[in-house]
Amino acid sequence: MSVDRADGPAAAPRATAPAPASAAEDESGSLGRNVRRKEDRRLVTGHGRFVTDLELPRMRHVAFLRSPYGHARITGVDATAARDAGHRVFTGRDFAHVVLRAQSALPSYIETDQPILAHEKVCFSGEPVAAVVAKDRYRAEDGLELVAVDYEALPPTVCAWQEPREPVHPEAPDNVLLQRTFDAGSVTDAFAAADLVVERELVTNRHAGNPMECRAGVALWDAADGKLTFWNGTQVPHIVRNMIAELMGLSEGKVRVVAPDVGGGFGVKAVLYPEDVALCLMAREMPGIPLKWVEDRAEHLLAAAHARDHRYLIKAGFAADGRLLALEADVTCNVGAYSVYPWTAGIEPLMAGGLLSGPYKLDNYRCTVRGVATNTAPAGPYRGVARPASVFAMETMFDDAAARLGIDAIEIRRRNVITPEDIPYKMPSRLVDDSGHYGECLDKALDALDHPAFRAEQQRRREAGENPIGIGVALYNELTGLGRAASAGPRMPFRTGHDACTVRVNPDGRVTVISGVTSQGQGLETTMAQIVADAIGVRYDDVDVRIGDTDEALWGFGAFSSRQAVIGGGAAHNTAVAVKEKLVKLAAELIEAAEADVRVVDGEVYVVGDPKAQISVAEVARVAYLESNRLPDGIDPGLDATTFFDPIRGAFAAGAQAAAVEVDRTTGELRILKYVCVEDAGRAMHPQIVDGQIAGSVAQGLGGALFEHLVYDDAGNLSTGTLLDYLMPTSAEVPDMVIGHVSHPAANPLGVRGVGEGGTLGPNAVLAGALRDALGIEVNALPISPASVWKELHP
Amino acid sequence: MKCAPFDYVRAGSVEEVVKVLGEADGDGKILAGGQSLVPVLALRMARPSVLVDVNRIPGLARIRPVDGAVEVGALTRHSRLVEQTHHPLLAEAARWIGHTAIRSRGTTGGSIAHADPSAELPVVAAGVDATVTIAGPSGERTVAAEELFLGALLTSLDDGDMIVRVRFPLPTRWGFAEFARRHGDFALVTAVVAEIAGSLRITLGGVAAVPQRARAAEQIVADGGSAKDAARATADEIDPTADLHGSAPFRRAIAGEMVRRALAQVGIE
Ligand SMILES: Cc1cc2nc3c(=O)[nH]c(=O)nc-3n(C[C@H](O)[C@H](O)[C@H](O)COP(=O)(O)OP(=O)(O)OC[C@H]3O[C@@H](n4cnc5c(N)ncnc54)[C@H](O)[C@@H]3O)c2cc1C
């Protein structure tokens, strides 16, 4: 795969993305430039520090015994043989007093308990039942074979839209853990007035997150201090600290969570899992002995959060001119055996219902969403949460309607899309769109695709009887950087709108940033350093960033909902501005200039109009820490600050994707000839990182559209238990792509919009649309495979 | 996913391998490239008591043209097959095996012994009427590839046997076509067309437990029929099973299409 920028090489963003007045924008700034990533020296030279790399004295290794049944009562657990062989064994009874109970104040939500190690019954194949501690992982797995568990099989339910055979939880006899109806306007009347009603049943495919590094943890209980340290490959260390402290009855100050380098997360590492809690509980039972568990790929596919197993019964009414008049949908999301902690079973259904209408104007909307428990692994957050599916459903309506009304598929979208004039636009789910730049993204995408050339080629092939090509497009709005008013998640007992940041100018004038953001490869160290360097006026190379340790950073909710550039970045900027205020005040006194005339550039302090530096930041800092004799009256020692930032609302990021594909009629193979993605990242702080996020998420979306599919058999066993059967896209399958930008700064301190997830939203819809355009066939189930296309061609 | 305990012997000669396997009494396994065996060990689906590492045995990685054929030593890595020019069909087939890392470790002997129904080398072996030389407790013997493959992952090798080399006759004309979900995946269908001793053989991988000759299609071609007819006959004469990647009718159609494409390479349209 290679990436082209639609608007030429980087550097352009400086010109095209004017920074708001609050951010530094002088010649020496690092924002908007592809500065060398701080983390890369370590990551690309093999010096990354992942949880797996952690070696501690006396360390022991943990393996989990997992249920071979999708649904069964546990009638006996006998660990005698394993203990006789010298293993330490923990079973469900040992931790029966602790449960994961994800909370939400939504009226219809039914709270259920997830055990740490199952003891009464198992609810999905792969659920942990016991844990063995041994000298190494090999021996721990030997020990698993010596633990005998008796099961009494119960009938499993794996499909969320079939009658449950036996409830997963007695509290929810119909397996429905949550249901909500979105209702706006007058849907019935609008359908009655429609010239065309299209109706479809669409099923999307179940995914695994599959970061390159699977889950991992090392837990150590220090009995003398009564303190737990948990090195955890998590996206959310502060949430983990908060939850572990609460679950274990510890004070938060006695729990330290460290997320060192983390090799990808994509949402599945934003969940607190029973294995995490088990590790910490076991560590408390074994003081002074670090316990390590590194999930292997088979465990990941079995038991880490799944996603996107949805069915949409969807119906849209259109006027003859293509205007969307009404939308009605019934959305069922398979949430698996348990409500993921702490996000709940609402995470996917509520997102699906809240954003189904996407970037389109719509007054009449009725949508019932439900989260249904089944005997499958719990479903949770995964890059793009629900929207790769909901965008597919929505765009399918337009492709369908366009074909039936004889309107061009692109034109029908233009007639319905929210425009900048409509902003702020209140969506029927009451979310407020602050973007409206979809049309511009679409124009740019079609330009980059060279749409007319492909249309001509399409015609030529039709006439020549060659393999057909088709063009597909999708528009989407990605809700990013959610503040308290739009906060992620379904009315949980916490609001994820803010992050904190500490900025210290050290006595030598260099800067240390201790940020609440976390990184799973997105380059947050770099971004935070750029923001702080520019806000203070020091060189990028003079800023160090420390992240991922709850004993250092005051607070951060972590990585999810494309929030960190906006929120963590905003906190870094505001904090740096606060530090700069003091720096300027102190410097002004020291050089006897007016504060308003002081400028700080590249670590030197200037007075307006004088090209000669008056004093260095290093010297000012030295005074602040070491030479109180030089401190002016009224200025305290030190040069640092800690502040919080909450953008209150969110920032919508507009996006458009388009592709031309070729289909082999004889084999059903689909070849992507060209793929284009244009997004509004607001101001691109580091263009290469932004492009990397977009390219990666499009690749992940293409994987979901064409390959990835977790399949359970009727007995509740996962049929796709290894990467031999669960197909991930490789570099050979991901096409070269063109990435373009429109840059409309958002209303936050840096003018940025999130870019972490949007790319995943388009591919399902784009490829389904392209297939329809090429062959006239309808895609009703994902993924699109040669076999599924072939079947449509040979009914 | 860690293997169960086993003993490890690094063998210095074929005789030693046969001896150690004999002593293990059916509980020993040869370790060659490890690309099929190690995953199976990790899943604890195989639990040999002893692994006999054959990688250091000298002289087993030679590729030698002999009259009308090419002899390939059991320890020849797939990547070497790709590079060699003596047997173009073998080179082409080997290119389709997995990825670079797998090709630089995996061996001819291992692939033939593992007998995966979707693997490339067994189809080529059956397709060109290769013969396999096996060392066993009572010395060396040679069997036809087609007699070696008994079922999926099942061969007529005895517990104490080791493949030492495979003799691949050179086809006068050949075609190779494969269909897989992704680049480097095991084939859904592989079609090998090879003209050996004047007759055109059509052999398929991935459609049955062992490489399967498409004899009806061969007959059609021998009678001067078209590739299209041969493709249709292929689809009719095989009996593939459905799996996650496609239904039986889909696999039939793909098999026919691969046969058509392989035939096109030998000029039969
Ligand atoms: C990700 C991945 C993708 C792959 N894709 C493909 C593919 O597309 N096509 C394909 O054909 N293969 C593929 N393979 C398998 C690969 O080609 C293996 O190398 C090959 O099948 C086995 O060869 P080996 O030398 O690695 O054997 P090993 O794994 O060492 O052994 C395999 C079996 O053969 C036995 N054995 C080995 N050598 C001998 C011998 N000389 N005599 C008797 N018994 C012996 C072993 O005891 C064992 O039972 C893939 C493997 C991986 C991991």
How many of the other CB atoms lie within 10 Å of CB of A53?
A: 12
Own/partner pairs, A10-17, CB within 8 angstroms, 24+ separation:
A10/A34, A10/A687, A10/A688, A11/A687, A12/A687, A13/A683, A13/A684, A13/A687, A13/A741, A13/A743, A16/A741, A16/A743, A17/A682, A17/A683, A17/A684, A17/A743, A17/A745, A17/A751
Whether the Cβ atoms of residue A675 and residue A738 lie closer than 8 Å to each other: yes
Q: What would the pLDDT profile of B64-123 be if each residue is shown by its tens digit?
A: 999 999 999 999 999 999 999 999 999 999 999 999 999 999 999 999 999 999 999 999
Half-sphere exposure of A298 (CA within 13 A, CB side): 17
Kindly state whether A527 is in contact with chain B, defined as any CB-CB distance less than 8 angstroms: no
Q: What is the pLDDT of residue A486?
A: 79
Q: How many CB pairs under 8 A join A and B?
A: 61
DSSP-derived secondary structure letter, A208: E
pLDDT digits (tens, 9 = 90+) for A137-187: 999 999 999 999 999 999 999 999 999 999 999 999 999 999 999 999 999
Compute CA B207 distance to the chain's CA centroid, rounded to the nearest angstrom: 14
pLDDT, residue A12, reads: 38
Sequence-distant (≥ 6) Cβ neighbours of residue A671 within 8 angstroms: A661, A662, A663, A664
Q: How many degrees, rounded to 5, is the angle at CA A285 between CA A51 and CA A249?
A: 85
pLDDT above 70 coverage of chain A, percent: 97
Residue B14 Cβ inside 6 Å of ligand 1? The answer reads no
Cα separation, A521 vs A529, in Å, equals 15
Residue identifier of the C-alpha nearest atom 37 of ligand 1 = B110
CA B81 to CA A396: how far, in whole Å? 48
Task: For the domain covering A60-156, report its CATH number.
Answer: 3.90.1170.50
Helices (H) and strands (E) in chain A, counts: 19, 33
CATH T-level fold of A306-485+648-793: Aldehyde Oxidoreductase; domain 4 (3.30.365)
Tell whether the model's pLDDT for residue A48 goes beyond 90. Answer: yes
Q: B7-53 is classed in which CATH architecture?
A: 2-Layer Sandwich (3.30)
Closest by CA to A264, choosing from A647, A589, A699, A572, is A699
Domain limits, chain A: 11-30+499-556+567-645, 60-156, 306-485+648-793
Q: Is the peptide bond before A749 cis (omega within 30 degrees of 0)?
A: no
Q: What is the pLDDT of residues A323-336, one digit of tens each?
A: 999 999 999 999 99
Over range A402-424, report the average pLDDT. 97
Residue A572 in 3-state DSSP? helix
Query: How far from the centroid of its chain's Cα atoms is residue A773's Cα?
Result: 31
Q: Ligand 1: which of B35, B99, B103 to mutate, judged by most atoms within 8 Å of the beta carbon? A: B35
CA distance linking residue A406 with residue A398, whole number of Å: 12
Q: Does the distance separating the beta carbons of A725 and B5 come in below 8 Å?
A: no
Mutate to test the interface with B, among A64, A300, A666 (most CBs of B within 10 A): A666
Do domains A11-30+499-556+567-645 and A306-485+648-793 share one topology? The answer is: yes
Tell whether the model's pLDDT for residue A28 goes beyond 90.
no
Closest CA to A655 of A509, A568, A765: A765
Q: Could you tell me the fold of the domain covering B174-265?
A: Enolase-like; domain 1 (3.30.390)
The SS3 assignment for B230 reads helix
Q: What is the pLDDT of residues A549-596, one digit of tens each?
A: 999 999 999 999 999 999 999 999 999 999 999 999 999 999 999 999
Of A719, A732, A791, the CB nearest to B183: A732
Does position A714 have pLDDT exceeding 90, yes or no? yes
Determine whether domain B63-169 maps to CATH 3.40.190.10: no
Residue whose tokens read 């995964």: A382
Domains of chain B, residue spans:
7-53, 63-169, 174-265
* Whether the bond into A783 is cis, omega within 30 of 0: yes
With an 8 Å Cβ cutoff, is A138 touching chain B? yes
Digit-coded pLDDT (tens) for B120-144: 999 999 999 999 999 999 999 999 9
Q: Determine the residue of chain A that is closest to B248 in CA distance.
A: A787
Cβ distance of B253 and A790 shorter than 8 Å: yes
pLDDT of amino acid B250: 97
Paired strand residues for A765: none
Q: What is the CATH number that goes with domain A11-30+499-556+567-645?
A: 3.30.365.10
| pLDDT of residue B39 exceeding 80 | yes
The residue behind tokens 């095209």 is: A16
Residue B115 CA to ligand 1 centre (angstroms): 9
Position A76 scores a pLDDT of 97
Number of neighbours of residue B158 by Cβ within 10 angstroms: 13
CA nearest neighbour of A428 among A208, A183, A756: A183
pLDDT value, residue A17: 36
Backbone angles phi, psi at A119, to 5 degrees: -135, -35
pLDDT at B29 exceeding the cut of 60: yes
Residue numbers in A near B4 (CB within 8 A):
142
Give the SS3 label for residue B234: helix
Our CA angle for A207, A563, A179, nearest 5°, is 55
Identify the DSSP state of A629.
G
Strands A148-153 and A72-78: antiparallel
pLDDT in tens, A122-142: 999 999 999 999 999 999 999
Predicted pLDDT at A7: 61
Residue A8 region by backbone torsions, left for phi larger than 0, else alpha for psi between -120 and 50, else beta: left
Q: Is A606 helix (H, G, I), strand (E, B) or coil?
A: strand
Ligand 1 centre distance from Cα of residue B19 (Å): 22
Mean pLDDT for all residues in chain A: 95
Index of the ligand 1 atom closest to the CA of residue B180: 8
Counting residues of chain B whose pLDDT is more than 90, the rounded percentage is: 99
Half-sphere exposure of A520 (CA within 13 A, CB side): 29
